[in-house]
């Protein structure tokens, strides 16, 4: 039995790549220095994997920004608008073109937009979306895959295995930038380039090449399935002496199983963490010769592997295939895991003993191999750790479990029309009421303040006084420009999930558990390890303080359960919906506490509800069912006179509109300005009954929109939905903006609301 890895985090244990990239962009280091940092990270990663005894070690999994963008450059898929970059830039051409595609190019009189970025399947990692034209040509444009292989080979010898995004997934990850063709039809032109790349790698000495084809585990059209067969048949026919490994992950193969096992390849990788049940289905169909790579170590989470469970899977596979045809691996690339648990010296040792980061996961792979070969001690040690987690009182709180079990139907007291009447009488807001989404600019001063307080350099009094002052200033300013429903500004919050996680029981925070989100951006998600409960009020102090400063309504601001779940590492010992319900109950208690403190309007952000949608359509109804229900739990039994808002970031609502409506928030604010209110069509078509605030300006750029511009968006919105149900607000929170543009934009927004009141 052999072992392999599919990919390793490339940001470096101390986020060296982030720092080096940002220095390079700022002109503080040169390309040679940037390359040195990269080379060091690669070599360290390869050594770590070599030391762990992994048999097939990935290379070309490194990327300065994103592996899909690397693939675009490798294949020469470079949108025409970047041509001027090449003629302007004299040195570092390739690297500067690459970063221009990733980040846009505003220099030397050029102003070229970046390529679109979107989430990599159902992860929080973002990739750069390839852009295809009808007459798209492909050719080998960069040599990096070959140079990286040569460098890996020096260190790893025959263990070095180049990784490529597979041709079908590469096309499907992209977008047509012109009418009149389907990108999947480009496959015929793409195949010869893949053949050339793989053959060149073979000539350089590569025995194996890994082709990532996550789309093989997704819903595919007939045409896409045919393209898979065609592509791999052609590649296999023309490639000499290189073994092909196709890697699938994040879902089961399901209806694509027969297709996947019939591809003329040497090995197939399947995700047995997400879908352990697919092992039997695959084994039943697997042809002679095909090797199977079992993805049994969770590449997406931070928990120790259950060796006993894994052994069952491995032994089932070995019985059918023999040891020679079984490979043990993580479920997917370890890109999505934090790097090294050893660095976490502040963690509770009992809980730390239940966890594994990327480096520890490599070790688990090699331990599993040793156990298969008869090492029982390792199995016993693992059993003990798991047993300690299973029975720990740090994890299990009977009171919480009982409360979740007792959840029945969660609803508001009266139906929306009744609530709307009561709330209208209570708040007496003007037509087109104005509000914002919650946060105001997080200036360097504010960040410093929180950082100093955390380090103990400020007393609680000093810290709170400064936050109070920032809050008062924000309130006075909102009053002065005439905003109708105020917010306190979220100055006390570092992050909308972390702020709650830090106050809830069942969460822990790491010091260095960073994961790449996009480019040089990394996130450090909280870890939910136990039953979640809320020992104390979380937001009442600041909301009450803010409300007391003004006669206008002050909106309380909470993060919803699905969003907290979605942006954390979650428990793998119970279904996601159970964890979500536990969080929902905690948020529910906070809603009641705010209500009792006299707060009349409470917003519960569910920024991430859409992104939690499972990859396979058949699973959507179940997810939406429990996600919506969890939101309803947070507002269950809340008084009719309390107005519940929710907020969602940019997302397509067409296919989920009935579920959004079922959340039954009194007011929903959504991001719509970049789409010129097009996203509202789903709401209009559905005749969405509750109140809604379609964002009238894009908060992602410092640009200040004019009053007329926003008025016309409001007019557009009132053509689609009843004007008396419309609110006026920006697309999202303003924490990444600076004050000058925020002030100018919001003043114009209030003026636009006034204009619209007169026009409609
Ligand atoms: N209330 C949050 C804020 O204003 C919402 C942010 C979000 O939806 N991502 O920052
Ligand atoms: Zn948002």
Per DSSP, what are the bridge partners of residue 131? 175
Q: Residue whose CA is closest, atom 5 of ligand 1?
A: 733
Closest ligand 1 atom number to CA of residue 557: 1
Do residues 71 and 60 make contact, with C-beta atoms less than 8 angstroms apart? no
Q: Confirm or reject: Cβ of 496 under 6 Å from ligand 1.
A: yes
Q: In angstroms, what is the span from residue 202 Cα to ligand 2's centroid?
A: 47
Residues forming the annotated binding site for Zn(2+)? 647, 649, 671, 732
Whole-number Å distance, alpha carbon 670 to ligand 1 midpoint, is: 11
> Does residue 650 carry a pLDDT above 80?
no
Q: What is the Cα–Cα distance from 365 to 48, expressed in whole angstroms?
A: 13
For residue 649, the ligand 1 atom closest to its alpha carbon is: 8
Q: Is the dihedral of CA 467, 468, 471, 472 positive or negative?
A: negative
- Separation of CA 732 and ligand 1 centre (Å): 6
| CA of 695 relative to ligand 1 center, distance in Å | 13
Annotated binding site for L-homocysteine: 437-439, 490, 605
668 lines ligand 1 (CB under 6 A): no
Q: How far is CA 273 from the centre of its chain?
A: 19
Is 348 buried (19+), middle (13-18) or exposed (0-12) by CB count in 10 A?
Answer: exposed
Q: Which atom of ligand 1 is nearest to the CA of 438?
A: 4
Q: Given pLDDT bands bounded at 50, 70 and 90, which one contains residue 69?
A: very high
The pLDDT assigned to 70 comes to: 98
Give residue 499's pLDDT: 97
d(CA 93, CA 732): 36
Mean pLDDT of the chain: 97
Furthest C-alpha separation in the chain: 81
Residue with CA closest to ligand 1 atom 6: 733
Mean pLDDT, range 457-462, rounded to an integer: 97
In short, whether 656's Cβ falls inside 6 Å of ligand 1 is no
CB-side neighbour CA atoms (13 Å) of 471? 24
- The burial class, CB within 10 Å (0-12 / 13-18 / 19+), for 716 is middle
Instruction: Please tell me whether residue 535 adopts helix, strand or coil conformation.
Output: coil
Please give the full DSSP string across 489-529, using - where no structure is assigned.
B-TT-S-TTHHHHTTSEEEE--SS--EEEETTEEE---EEE
Of 96, 81, 162, 173, nearest to 127 (Cα)? 173
Ligand number nearest CA of 731 is 2
| Ligand 1 pocket residue status of 557, Cβ below 6 Å | yes
Please tell me the pTM assigned to this model.
0.96
Place of tokens 């060091």: 40
326 pLDDT exceeds 90? yes
The pLDDT, as a whole number, for residue 257 is 98
**Nearest alpha carbon, ligand 1 atom 3:** 733
Question: What pLDDT score was predicted for residue 90?
Answer: 81
pLDDT of residue 142: 97
Q: What is the DSSP string of 426-489?
A: HH-PPSS-BB--SB----HHHHHHHHHHHTTSS-HHHHHHHHHHHHHHHHHHHHHHT-SBB--B
Q: Is 437 in the pocket of ligand 1 (CB under 6 A)?
A: yes
Share of the chain above pLDDT 70, in %: 100
Using the predicted structure, report yes or no on whether residue 108 has a pLDDT greater than 90: no
> 3-state DSSP call for residue 238?
helix
- Confidence check: pLDDT of 173 > 80: yes
Q: Specify the pLDDT at position 674.
A: 82
Q: Which residues contact 650 (CB under 8 A, 6 or more apart)?
A: 671, 674, 675, 679, 731
Q: Is 487 in the pocket of ligand 1 (CB under 6 A)?
A: no
Which pLDDT belongs to residue 649? 87
3-state helix, strand, coil in the chain (%, to 5): 50, 15, 35
In the structure, what pLDDT confidence band is assigned to residue 500 with cuts at 50, 70 and 90? very high
651 has a pLDDT exceeding 80? no
Residue 399 confidence (pLDDT) above 90: yes
pLDDT in tens, 698-753: 998 889 999 999 999 999 999 999 999 999 999 999 999 999 999 999 999 999 99
Ligand 2 centroid distance, CA of 218 (Å): 28
Site to substitute for ligand 1 among 474, 496, 669, most atoms within 8 A of C-beta: 496
Ligand in closest contact with the CA of 670:
2
Residue nearest to atom 8 of ligand 1 (CA): 607
620 catalytic per annotation:
no
Q: Distances in Å between the alpha carbon of 311 and those of 315, 373, 668?
A: 6, 11, 48
- B/e letters for 201-231, b = 16+ CB within 10 Å, e = fewer, are bbeeebebbbbbbbbbbbebeeebbebbeeb
Candidate from 230-244, 436-450, 639-653 with smallest mean pLDDT: 639-653
Q: What is the mean pLDDT of residues 77-82?
A: 97
| Per-residue confidence (pLDDT) for residue 138, from 0 to 100 | 98
Which residue of 124, 436, 437 sits with most ligand 1 atoms within 8 Å of its CB, as the best mutation to test the pocket? 437
pLDDT of residue 375: 95
Q: What CA–CA distances, in Å, run from 325 to 196, 266, 283? A: 28, 10, 12
Q: Is 671 in the pocket of ligand 1 (CB under 6 A)?
A: no
Q: What is the DSSP letter of 241?
A: S
Q: Whose CA is nearest to atom 10 of ligand 1?
A: 733
* 731 CA → ligand 2 middle, Å: 7
Of 760 and 382, the one with more pLDDT: 382
Ligand at minimal distance from the CA of 496 is 1
User: C-alpha angle 472/474/476, rounded to 5°?
Assistant: 65
Q: From the CB of 438, is ligand 1 less than 6 Å away?
A: yes
607 within ligand 1 shell (Cβ under 6 A):
yes
Considering the candidates 396, 620, 681, 700, report the single residue annotated as catalytic.
Answer: 700
Whether 255 and 229 have beta carbons less than 8 Å apart is answered as: no
The pLDDT tens digits for 12-39 are: 999 999 999 999 999 999 999 999 999 9
Q: How confident is the model at residue 229 (pLDDT cuts 50, 70, 90)?
A: very high
Give the distance (Å) from ligand 2 centre to CA of residue 635. Answer: 20
Known binding-site residues for 5-methyltetrahydropteroyltri-L-glutamate equal: 18, 119, 124, 521-522, 567, 611
* Residue 396's pLDDT band (cuts 50, 70, 90): very high
Cα-to-chain-centroid distance, residue 42: 24
CA 571 to CA 581: how far, in whole Å? 13
Beta bridge partners of 485: 435
pLDDT digits (tens, 9 = 90+) for 690-706: 999 999 999 988 899 99
How many angstroms separate the alpha carbon of residue 441 from the centre of ligand 1?
Answer: 12
Give residue 279's pLDDT.
98
Shortest-distance atom of ligand 1 to CA 648: 8
Instruction: Please write the tens of the pLDDT for every residue from 581-624.
Output: 999 999 999 999 999 999 999 999 999 999 899 999 999 999 99
Pick the atom of ligand 1 nearest to 735's CA.
Answer: 10
Q: Ligand 1 mean position to 561 CA, how many Å? A: 14
Q: What confidence score (pLDDT) does residue 53 get?
A: 97
Position 244 confidence tier, pLDDT thresholds 50, 70, 90: very high
In the predicted model, is pLDDT for residue 380 greater than 80? Answer: yes
Ligand 1: which residue has its CA nearest to atom 4? 733
Ligand 1 atom nearest residue 647's Cα:
8
Which region among 240-249, 310-319, 667-676 has the lowest average model confidence (pLDDT)? Answer: 667-676
Answer yes or no: is the C-beta of 439 below 6 A from any ligand 1 atom. yes
Pocket flag, ligand 1, residue 647 (CB < 6 Å) = yes
Q: What is the mean pLDDT of residues 202-231?
A: 98
């Amino acid at each position: 039995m052999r072992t392999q890895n599919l990919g390793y985090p490339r940001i470096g244990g101390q986020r060296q790549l982030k720092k080096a990239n940002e220095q390079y962009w700022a002109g503080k280091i040169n390309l040679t220095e940037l390359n040195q940092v990269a080379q060091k990270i690669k070599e360290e990663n390869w050594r770590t994997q070599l030391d762990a005894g992994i048999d097939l070690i990935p290379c070309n999994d490194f990327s300065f920004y994103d592996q899909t963008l690397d693939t675009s450059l490798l294949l020469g898929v470079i949108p025409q608008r970047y041509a001027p970059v090449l003629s302007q830039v004299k040195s570092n051409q390739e690297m500067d073109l690459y970063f221009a595609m990733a980040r846009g190019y505003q220099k030397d009189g050029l102003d070229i937009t970046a390529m679109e970025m979107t989430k990599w399947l159902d992860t929080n990692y973002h990739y750069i979306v390839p852009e295809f034209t009808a007459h798209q040509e492909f050719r080998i444009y960069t040599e990096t895959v070959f140079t990286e292989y040569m460098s890996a080979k020096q260190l790893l010898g025959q263990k070095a295995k180049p990784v490529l995004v597979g041709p079908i997934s590469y096309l499907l990850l992209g977008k047509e930038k012109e009418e009149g063709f389907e990108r999947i039809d480009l496959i015929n032109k793409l195949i010869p380039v893949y053949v050339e790349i793989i053959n060149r790698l073979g000539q350089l000495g590569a025995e194996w090449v890994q082709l990532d084809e996550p789309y093989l585990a997704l819903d595919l059209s007939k045409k896409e399935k045919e393209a898979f067969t065609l592509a791999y048949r052609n590649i296999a026919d023309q490639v000499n002496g290189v073994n092909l490994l196709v890697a699938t992950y994040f879902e089961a193969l399901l209806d694509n199983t027969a297709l996947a096992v019939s591809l003329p390849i040497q090995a197939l990788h399947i995700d047995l963490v997400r879908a352990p049940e697919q092992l039997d289905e695959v084994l039943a169909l697997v042809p002679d010769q095909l090797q199977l790579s079992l993805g049994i170590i969770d590449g997406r989470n931070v928990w120790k592997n259950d060796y006993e469970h894994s052994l069952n899977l491995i032994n089932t596979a070995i019985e059918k295939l023999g040891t020679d045809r079984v490979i043990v691996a993580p479920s997917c690339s370890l890109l999505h895991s934090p790097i090294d648990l050893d660095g976490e010296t502040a963690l509770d040792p009992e809980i730390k003993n239940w966890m594994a980061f990327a480096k520890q996961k490599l070790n688990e792979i090699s331990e599993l191999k040793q156990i298969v070969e008869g090492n029982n001690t390792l199995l016993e040690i693992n059993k003990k750790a798991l047993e300690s987690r299973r029975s720990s009182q740090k994890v299990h709180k009977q009171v919480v479990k009982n409360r979740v079990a007792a959840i029945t139907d969660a609803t508001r007291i009266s139906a929306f029309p009744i609530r709307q009447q009561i709330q209208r009488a209570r708040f007496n807001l003007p037509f087109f009421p104005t509000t914002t989404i919650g946060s105001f600019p997080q200036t360097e001063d504010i960040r410093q303040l929180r950082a100093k307080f955390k380090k103990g350099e400020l007393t609680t009094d000093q810290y709170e006084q400064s936050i109070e002052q920032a809050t008062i200033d924000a309130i006075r300013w909102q009053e002065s420009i005439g905003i109708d429903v105020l917010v306190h500004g979220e100055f006390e919050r570092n992050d909308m999930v972390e702020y709650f996680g830090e106050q809830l029981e069942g969460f822990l925070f790491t010091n260095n558990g960073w994961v790449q989100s996009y480019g040089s951006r990394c996130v450090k998600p909280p870890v939910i390890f136990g039953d979640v409960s809320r020992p104390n009020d979380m937001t009442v102090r600041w909301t009450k303080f803010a409300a007391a400063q003004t006669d206008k309504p002050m909106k309380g601001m909470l993060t919803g359960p699905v969003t907290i779940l979605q942006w954390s590492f979650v428990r793998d010992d119970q279904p996601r919906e159970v964890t979500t319900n536990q969080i929902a109950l905690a948020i529910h208690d906070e809603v009641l506490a705010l209500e009792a403190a006299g707060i009349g309007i409470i917003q519960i952000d569910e920024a991430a509800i859409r992104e939690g949608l499972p990859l396979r359509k058949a699973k959507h109804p179940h997810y939406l069912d429990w996600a919506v229900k969890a939101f309803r739990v947070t507002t269950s039994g809340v008084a009719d006179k309390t107005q519940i808002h929710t907020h969602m970031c940019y997302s397509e609502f067409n296919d989920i509109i009935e579920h959004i409506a079922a959340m039954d928030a009194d007011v929903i604010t959504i991001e719509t300005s970049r789409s010129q209110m097009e996203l509202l069509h789903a709401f209009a078509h559905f005749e969405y009954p509750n109140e809604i605030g379609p964002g009238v300006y894009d908060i992602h750029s410092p640009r200040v929109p004019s009053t007329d511009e926003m008025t016309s968006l409001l007019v557009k919105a009132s053509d689609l939905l009843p004007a008396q149900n419309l609110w006026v607000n920006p697309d999202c929170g303003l924490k990444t903006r600076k004050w000058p543009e925020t002030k100018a934009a919001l003043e114009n927004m209030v003026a636009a609301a006034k204009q619209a009141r007169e026009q409609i």
